[in-house]
Homo-oligomer: A and B are copies of this chain.
Amino acid sequence: MAAPAPAHQRLGDHLHQTRLLGSISSALYYDQNTVMPPAGAAWRGEQLALLAKQLHERQSSAAYADLLAEAEAELDGASAPEAAYNLQLLRQELRRQQALDPELVAAIAQAQARGNALWQAARSQNDFASFAPALERLIQLRRQQASQLASAERIQRSPWEILAQPFEPDISTTRLEDLFVPLKAELPALLEQVRATSTPQRATNDLPEVLQEQLCRDLLGSWGYDPARCQRSRSAHPFSCTVGPQDFRITTRVVPGQPFSAFLATAHEWGHSLYEQGLPRMGEPYFPWPLGEATSMGVHESQSLFWECRVARGEAFARLWYPRFRAGLVDDPWGEPQRFWAALNPLQPGLIRVEADELSYCLHIVLRYELELALIEGDLQVADLPREWNRRMQSLLGLEPPNDREGCLQDIHWAEGLFGYFPSYALGHLISAQLAEAMERQLGPIEQRVAEADGTSLRAWLAERVWPLGRRVNGEELVQQVCGEPLSAAPFLRYLKAKLERLQAI
């Protein structure tokens, strides 16, 4: 009999199969959201549940635990530090899996499904009270989960911090509060400045669907979209997903009355996809090992926001694309590039997070973060959530939600028991701005590159410095390594103030 393969190699094979299974789920998810007829939903749910069960078994079985232990025993960590780090990340994930009571996992899945259904109904009927018990149950179960997971953590973490780990590894509430203090201090004043001086922007006429589709195609074409590896489809909500190491999908939609929605969403989702396409994939210590994965939701979001906000909402880009937008229209609703740029950057605080502008977006996040922290770790009662939401909305954004549908019932996250997720959106804004400053120190002004239609050098910079890092660094370490300074809110605030000044000068 031949000697068994080294445990490291067998573990790699195991992870490869796990990736295959996970990517089958991604393919089904893509199909579900682009072409699946509605009556297929129940069966699709069963297919996905079957795959999820198989995935869970692969990631928590005794056989896998033994294999990991064998690989750890075999390891010479000193000579293979990256292999050692891969094993550490796998061990940490296994510890978390093992710390969880399977009954709790099942109870959470059930509560999520119930939470989602009750939330849908409550939102459509604007009836928070009917959703409140499901939310209470989810909070209770997530607290239990955090308590079980605490034993798997190698450092002391609070319940909210434990729940946030899957999205933002190593995040702490202290650090988040540090980062959010300047946002809370400065953004409301900027909003006030806009309110005091801006005239309400004229509504832009709608753009024909066929023009929007063409503009999205052109945008992707000029940003390196390769049809041999990429596919774009339509879906009800835009998303990006990776179906295989060489198979990247994004979706967009045309929203009536929102002429830039499809275009900007394409820029956004393509930013996510570029990051995925640039992750290190070629063999060990990367694919299919942990080091080849995206490092955090915040970093992922920084990549989408870079292309959406720093590039596509920038003035130079607006000048470059204004003729293309105008060419497809009988009447030019903007009249000049400057007004077209202003139309791409509406500055008007609103009640809805997903429609928020760059100035107010992070305040929506701060509000949610503080509320969920109070729900999970503090003494905020679910029954008091609507009142607290509205009070903070008034204090942060100067707005009063007329109902809970436009208030605390607007997002799906809590209805599915997702706590710890929201801050990643704000971190994405901060990281994006800080990376952009570092990029400008090396490449000169981004606006100038864009004006020269040189998106390639921006992409190349990210492709060289950011994307290939994978999970070797977490979000904060990434900023430190790439920018040579710790993550902070200052670059984002500098960026906003400069942009605001130029927009207000129009």
Please give the residue numbers on chain A whose beta carbons come within 8 Å of chain B beta carbons, in ascending order: 17, 20-21, 23-24, 27-28, 30-31, 34-40, 42-44, 46-47, 50-51, 227-231, 233, 243-249
| B-chain residues with CB within 8 Å of residue A23 when the two chains form the complex | 43, 47
Decide: B20 and A246 in contact? CB cutoff 8 A. Answer: no
List 21 interface pairs A-B (beta carbons < 8 Å), by A numbering. Answer: A20-B46, A20-B47, A21-B50, A24-B24, A24-B51, A27-B27, A27-B47, A30-B31, A31-B31, A35-B231, A35-B249, A37-B247, A38-B228, A39-B228, A40-B229, A43-B243, A43-B245, A43-B247, A44-B244, A44-B247, A47-B244
Known A17-B50, A35-B231; judge A246-B40 contact (CB<8 A): yes
Complex Cα gap A395–B47 (Å): 52
Which of B17, B36, B247 makes the CB contact (< 8 A) with A247?
Answer: B36
6 shortest interchain CB distances as A-B pairs: A40-B247, A43-B244, A39-B246, A39-B229, A40-B244, A39-B228
Complex Cα gap A47–B233 (Å): 22
Number of copies: 2
Which of B21, B27, B34, B228 makes the CB contact (< 8 A) with A37?
Answer: B228
Residue of B nearest to A249 (CB): B35
| B-chain residues with CB within 8 Å of residue A21 when the two chains form the complex | 50
Residue in A34, A243, A245 whose Cβ sees the most chain B Cβ within 10 Å: A243
Complex Cα gap A296–B470 (Å): 51
Residue in A34, A37, A50 whose Cβ sees the most chain B Cβ within 10 Å: A37
Which of B30, B36, B46, B245 makes the CB contact (< 8 A) with A231?
Answer: B36
CB of A18 to closest CB in B, whole Å: 11
| B-chain residues with CB within 8 Å of residue A229 when the two chains form the complex | 37, 39-40
| B-chain residues with CB within 8 Å of residue A243 when the two chains form the complex | 31, 36, 40, 43
| B-chain residues with CB within 8 Å of residue A24 when the two chains form the complex | 24, 28, 47, 50-51
5 A-B pairs besides A37-B228, A44-B244 with CB distance below 8 A are A24-B50, A30-B31, A31-B243, A37-B231, A42-B246
Residue in A24, A28, A227 whose Cβ sees the most chain B Cβ within 10 Å: A24
CB of A275 to closest CB in B, whole Å: 18
Which of B28, B50, B230, B244 makes the CB contact (< 8 A) with A27?
Answer: B28
Residue in A34, A39, A44, A228 whose Cβ sees the most chain B Cβ within 10 Å: A39
Complex Cα gap A30–B28 (Å): 11
Decide: A31 and B27 in contact? CB cutoff 8 A. Answer: yes
CB of A34 to closest CB in B, whole Å: 8
| B-chain residues with CB within 8 Å of residue A40 when the two chains form the complex | 229, 243-244, 246-247
Complex Cα gap A346–B359 (Å): 67
Complex Cα gap A27–B30 (Å): 11
Complex Cα gap A17–B24 (Å): 16
CB of A132 to closest CB in B, whole Å: 33
Complex Cα gap A229–B44 (Å): 13
| B-chain residues with CB within 8 Å of residue A17 when the two chains form the complex | 50
Residue of B nearest to A49 (CB): B20
| B-chain residues with CB within 8 Å of residue A244 when the two chains form the complex | 40, 42-44, 47
Residue of B nearest to A54 (CB): B54
Complex Cα gap A247–B40 (Å): 5
CB of A371 to closest CB in B, whole Å: 39
Residue of B nearest to A21 (CB): B50
| B-chain residues with CB within 8 Å of residue A20 when the two chains form the complex | 43, 46-47, 50
Complex Cα gap A247–B20 (Å): 24
Residue of B nearest to A243 (CB): B40
Complex Cα gap A35–B31 (Å): 10
| B-chain residues with CB within 8 Å of residue A44 when the two chains form the complex | 244, 247
Complex Cα gap A462–B383 (Å): 58
Complex Cα gap A28–B249 (Å): 14
Residue of B nearest to A24 (CB): B47
Complex Cα gap A116–B21 (Å): 26
CB of A45 to closest CB in B, whole Å: 10
Complex Cα gap A227–B38 (Å): 8
CB of A222 to closest CB in B, whole Å: 19
| B-chain residues with CB within 8 Å of residue A231 when the two chains form the complex | 35-37
| B-chain residues with CB within 8 Å of residue A245 when the two chains form the complex | 43
Complex Cα gap A314–B215 (Å): 45
| B-chain residues with CB within 8 Å of residue A30 when the two chains form the complex | 31
CB of A144 to closest CB in B, whole Å: 27
Complex Cα gap A43–B249 (Å): 14
Decide: A35 and B233 in contact? CB cutoff 8 A. Answer: yes
Complex Cα gap A230–B28 (Å): 16
| B-chain residues with CB within 8 Å of residue A248 when the two chains form the complex | 37
Complex Cα gap A44–B229 (Å): 13
| B-chain residues with CB within 8 Å of residue A43 when the two chains form the complex | 20, 23, 243-247
Complex Cα gap A247–B24 (Å): 18
